[in-house]
Amino acid sequence: MGSAKEAKTLTFANIFLPKVNALKTINIEFPEEVVELYGEEELKRSVRKLSVLDLVKKGKLSSGKAAEILGMARWDFMELMLEYDIPIAHFPPEELKRQAKERRLI
């Protein structure tokens, strides 16, 4: 293993599925040790998965589209969301209060 300052650049080309229309290639530098510990392909898969999960968590990508990008069934993706403590549904507080009142829970 090299010094802590050495980094390895991975090229992420076509990391999404062919169904996805626009693909972009990016380069990201990682410490060589990280690349060696993960392995290049596993690191690429992990970065892709975590990036997609982050976009879903931020409300920028639907779970259906995320599942498509990752090549998963939607139900499998929802299980993945639960593993990462990402809510499957998001309701604003006002909506939750409205529904609770309708059901006479509050």
Flag whether 87 is in a domain.
yes
Q: Which of 19-23, 26-30, 86-90 has the highest mean pLDDT?
A: 26-30
Asked whether the beta carbons of 12 and 28 are under 8 A apart, the reply is yes
Mean pLDDT to the nearest integer, 14-31:
71
Flag whether 64 is in a domain.
yes
Provide the domain limits for residue 97: 7-102
8 Cβ contact list (under 8 Å, min separation 6)? 29, 30, 31, 32, 35
Count up the domains in the chain and report the number.
1
Mean pLDDT to the nearest integer, 47-65:
94
Q: Which residue has the higher pLDDT, 77 or 88?
A: 77
- Distances in Å between the Cα of 106 and the Cα atoms of 97, 99, 102 are 8, 10, 9
pLDDT of residue 96: 76
